[in-house]
Chains A and B, each alone.
Chain A
């Protein structure tokens, strides 16, 4: 995937943080929804906030937007403290929180018009409301919607409408909670392409999801949350880093195994997992070929995001609390 390399290339290093939290904690009664979270979202990143259902993702998102007040800890968004100065920050944020919502008896356009009118006074530029609405509707693939009330929309259409609302003000930061919920595979691809396009134009994307594949396909940085605690925060490429082993595929595994001896860690049919020797894949390939072992393929073994997440988190916190597979950080 060429996108992979673009991602790591486009990833800004040491740039300003768009979202930063320190020791952020939220209690609802005795239940600790968010527990001492230090979050760092760099400008220009596509940040995936990953965690099972009930792990505190939505509470976290709500705190970033000033909807829920933290019990303890500090939040800085776009350089300003939240919630005390959240009103200055929100005009530059487009958000979708826990599913879309709209006035069911009004059409999609009327809903956007109300939302637009409720927003901050327009900066100069003089573009008219109708143009803005048509533009965002076009962007999310709803350009052709008619005057039907939102009541008659499918979940996918509502989701797109919610996204359109988030894009109204050309935000610098998009905070999206499960944005592809209810979309078909085609719609998911469209939304993903749209988010990448916006991101490449400079918008930072903070996306929360319980869908690992969605985060893996879209994000550059991943934060994994489990039962309110942030158990991992790193660049996706680093998370999925090499394991220090090489995967060798060969039509003659016996010969290869004989040649490599104790370096072979695992063997499945025509595939061998081999401890990496100095020189890396090229050296190993030369070694094998020189000794007459034919090769079908040879790649570095990488951890999958799924392996990492499963090892770090327990089962969904809305199921059992008794088992916990991996240790926290």
Chain B
């Protein structure tokens, strides 16, 4: 059944349109950057954009930062929201079920198809932006790459150290170009979520920042190291999207309208983004699906900062597990009347 679902995914023109659009945005940004050579000052604009002028091989990271807040979640919500509801409204669901395809395996196959779509889109975005980045900006010299990194990571750590209230600059670094991702500032503030972490982390963060600055002169980021960090970031972004996919998939079993399921999932995400940035909602912030979305940037710290990444992975796993159980409970017991 998984094979059948993958075939359906691959043979659907919409899939390729979505992937194409995802790759298009970073390409447009890259063309503007390359023609004007005006880079956002360090600390403003999407993450890594100021760095890519020196090394195009860092552009995949910048591209991920560009598609992460809106484009990627929308694409995932569209695909996952349509997965069961689309078949239902089209009438093909009943014919699949009387083949017979067991409802549980249909649901699993749908989940696998969503995962494959996310992996495929992240790979496509990273791959296309690597090609675009290197051809427009050149591969750059490794030292420049290393020099570029502490500007991002060190900057945000420094802010977190001086005071968690000053949330704007780190948020601006990562996703400040659009309003809804302002809420992501939290992800850039290690220690801002809990009191004791605030007490512990700033020193550690400052130390880390200093150590990465001190490594600037000497060690270069080897291609293998860069590739490993990029792969880590891509994997983390993929996992971050699974929560969205699970929300949309669950809603897709509830309604027969794919649009309803998609919009429902997006509404949940926007709510989450708003609450993440709201200090009054601090008590629920650690459990919101978008809370750790931007932790992938931590793969480019030196050394890699794992705390938020780990928390994000557990959180997404929890969302996927709970929502898939809910989807299963709902789908296996419901009357298929469409």
* Contact indicator B98/A69 (Cβ below 8 Å): no
Roughly how many angstroms separate A97 CA and B94 CA in the complex, as a whole number?
A: 8
* Contact indicator A90/B98 (Cβ below 8 Å): yes
By beta carbon, the residue of chain B nearest A175 is B98
Would you call A95 an interface residue if the criterion is a C-beta within 8 Å of the partner chain's C-beta atoms?
Answer: yes
Would you call A183 an interface residue if the criterion is a C-beta within 8 Å of the partner chain's C-beta atoms?
Answer: no
By beta carbon, the residue of chain B nearest A169 is B99
CB distance from B328 to the nearest CB of A (A): 16
* Contact indicator A118/B98 (Cβ below 8 Å): no
* Contact indicator B12/A118 (Cβ below 8 Å): no
* Contact indicator A103/B92 (Cβ below 8 Å): yes
The stretch among A14-22, A59-67, A263-271, A318-326 that forms the contact with chain B is A59-67
A67 and B98 in contact (CB under 8 A), knowing A62-B336, A105-B13, A118-B1?
Answer: yes
CB distance from B79 to the nearest CB of A (A): 15
Roughly how many angstroms separate A62 CA and B97 CA in the complex, as a whole number?
A: 11
CB distance from B251 to the nearest CB of A (A): 21
Would you call A310 an interface residue if the criterion is a C-beta within 8 Å of the partner chain's C-beta atoms?
Answer: no
* Contact indicator B7/A67 (Cβ below 8 Å): no
Which residues A75-122 have CB closer than 8 A to chain B? 86-87, 90-91, 93, 95, 97-106, 110, 114-115, 117-120
Roughly how many angstroms separate A103 CA and B96 CA in the complex, as a whole number?
A: 12
* Contact indicator A101/B94 (Cβ below 8 Å): yes
CB contacts (< 8 Å) of A165 on chain B: these are: 95
Which residues A17-76 have CB closer than 8 A to chain B? 59, 62, 65-69
* Contact indicator B98/A103 (Cβ below 8 Å): no
Would you call B100 an interface residue if the criterion is a C-beta within 8 Å of the partner chain's C-beta atoms?
Answer: yes
* Contact indicator A91/B4 (Cβ below 8 Å): no
By beta carbon, the residue of chain A nearest B105 is A118
A87 and B335 in contact (CB under 8 A), knowing A67-B94, A118-B1, A118-B4?
Answer: no
By beta carbon, the residue of chain B nearest A111 is B92
CB contacts (< 8 Å) of B41 on chain A: these are: none
Would you call B8 an interface residue if the criterion is a C-beta within 8 Å of the partner chain's C-beta atoms?
Answer: yes
* Contact indicator B92/A102 (Cβ below 8 Å): yes
* Contact indicator A91/B100 (Cβ below 8 Å): yes
Roughly how many angstroms separate A201 CA and B98 CA in the complex, as a whole number?
A: 23
* Contact indicator B90/A101 (Cβ below 8 Å): yes
* Contact indicator A114/B336 (Cβ below 8 Å): no
Roughly how many angstroms separate A67 CA and B64 CA in the complex, as a whole number?
A: 42
Contact string against A for B residues 1-43, beta-carbon threshold 8 Å, 1 for contact and 0 otherwise: 1011001100111000000000000000000000000000000
Contact string against A for B residues 300-338, beta-carbon threshold 8 Å, 1 for contact and 0 otherwise: 000000000000000000000000000000000101110
Interface magnitude class on chain B: 20 to 34
* Contact indicator A90/B100 (Cβ below 8 Å): yes
Would you call B91 an interface residue if the criterion is a C-beta within 8 Å of the partner chain's C-beta atoms?
Answer: yes
A87 and B102 in contact (CB under 8 A), knowing A68-B337, A114-B7?
Answer: yes
Would you call B282 an interface residue if the criterion is a C-beta within 8 Å of the partner chain's C-beta atoms?
Answer: no
Contact string against B for A residues 119-143, beta-carbon threshold 8 Å, 1 for contact and 0 otherwise: 1100000000000000000000000
Roughly how many angstroms separate A91 CA and B337 CA in the complex, as a whole number?
A: 21
CB contacts (< 8 Å) of A103 on chain B: these are: 8, 90, 92
Contact string against A for B residues 73-93, beta-carbon threshold 8 Å, 1 for contact and 0 otherwise: 000000000000000001110
A68 and B335 in contact (CB under 8 A), knowing A91-B100, A117-B4?
Answer: yes
CB distance from A170 to the nearest CB of B (A): 14
Would you call B267 an interface residue if the criterion is a C-beta within 8 Å of the partner chain's C-beta atoms?
Answer: no
CB contacts (< 8 Å) of B7 on chain A: these are: 114, 117
Q: Which of A101, A104, A105, A120 contacts B99 (CB 8 A)?
A: A120
A69 and B90 in contact (CB under 8 A), knowing A97-B98, A165-B95?
Answer: no
Roughly how many angstroms separate A117 CA and B109 CA in the complex, as a whole number?
A: 13
CB distance from A64 to the nearest CB of B (A): 10
Roughly how many angstroms separate A119 CA and B333 CA in the complex, as a whole number?
A: 21
CB contacts (< 8 Å) of A97 on chain B: these are: 94-95, 98
By beta carbon, the residue of chain A nearest B96 is A118
A118 and B91 in contact (CB under 8 A), knowing A68-B336, A105-B12, A110-B11?
Answer: no
CB distance from B222 to the nearest CB of A (A): 45
CB contacts (< 8 Å) of B98 on chain A: these are: 65-67, 90, 93, 95, 97
CB distance from A171 to the nearest CB of B (A): 10
Roughly how many angstroms separate A66 CA and B4 CA in the complex, as a whole number?
A: 22
CB contacts (< 8 Å) of B101 on chain A: these are: 118-119
Contact string against A for B residues 48-69, beta-carbon threshold 8 Å, 1 for contact and 0 otherwise: 0000000000000000000000
Q: Which of A59, A100, A115, A117 contacts B3 (CB 8 A)?
A: A117
A69 and B94 in contact (CB under 8 A), knowing A103-B8, A119-B99?
Answer: no
Given contacts A66-B100, A91-B100, 17 further A-B contacts (CB under 8 A): A65-B97, A66-B97, A66-B98, A67-B337, A68-B335, A87-B100, A95-B98, A97-B94, A98-B91, A101-B90, A101-B91, A101-B95, A103-B92, A118-B1, A118-B101, A119-B100, A165-B95
Chain B residues proximal to chain A, CB less than 8 Å: 1, 3-4, 7-8, 11-13, 90-92, 94-102, 333, 335-337
Would you list 19 pairs from A and B whose C-beta atoms are within 8 A, ordered by A residue?
A62-B335, A62-B336, A65-B97, A66-B98, A67-B336, A68-B335, A68-B336, A90-B98, A95-B95, A95-B98, A99-B91, A102-B92, A105-B13, A117-B4, A117-B7, A118-B96, A118-B101, A120-B100, A162-B95
Chain A residues proximal to chain B, CB less than 8 Å: 59, 62, 65-69, 86-87, 90-91, 93, 95, 97-106, 110, 114-115, 117-120, 162, 165
Q: Which 7 A-B pairs have the closest CB atoms?
A: A101-B91, A90-B100, A67-B336, A68-B335, A119-B99, A118-B4, A95-B98
